[in-house]
Amino acid sequence: MNVNLQQEKQIILDALDRTRSGVWATAPEIAGYSGVNLENVLRIVYNSREFMKCTVRSDDGLPMFTSRKVYKARSPFWQKFYDFLKGEYV
């Protein structure tokens, strides 16, 4: 990742930390929270190990993402355990 994308990744991580809307967010929501353009949000969340993709899509059919830090802090224990059993939690 180039320097600009690294900075934008940190902006996205900070924005996800600050939001209180739950664990998961779509790429357009993340772009709105962070101010990073949608194309770069998609590039960053798909190419960084600091983000996780939800196995369930939003009501609009869009994929949802979160940071590993937010997932660990806000997901209930039973969800983490279930994801672990399914082999989806790393």
Residue 25 CB burial class (10 angstroms; 0-12, 13-18, ≥19): buried
Q: Would you say 61 and 70 are in contact if contact means Cβ atoms under 8 Å apart?
A: no
Name the pTM for this structure: 0.80
DSSP summary character for residue 87: T
Q: Would you say 30 and 16 are in contact if contact means Cβ atoms under 8 Å apart?
A: yes
pLDDT tens, position by position, 19-70: 877 889 999 999 999 999 999 999 999 999 999 998 889 999 999 999 989 8
Sign of CA pseudo-dihedral 69, 28, 35, 48: positive
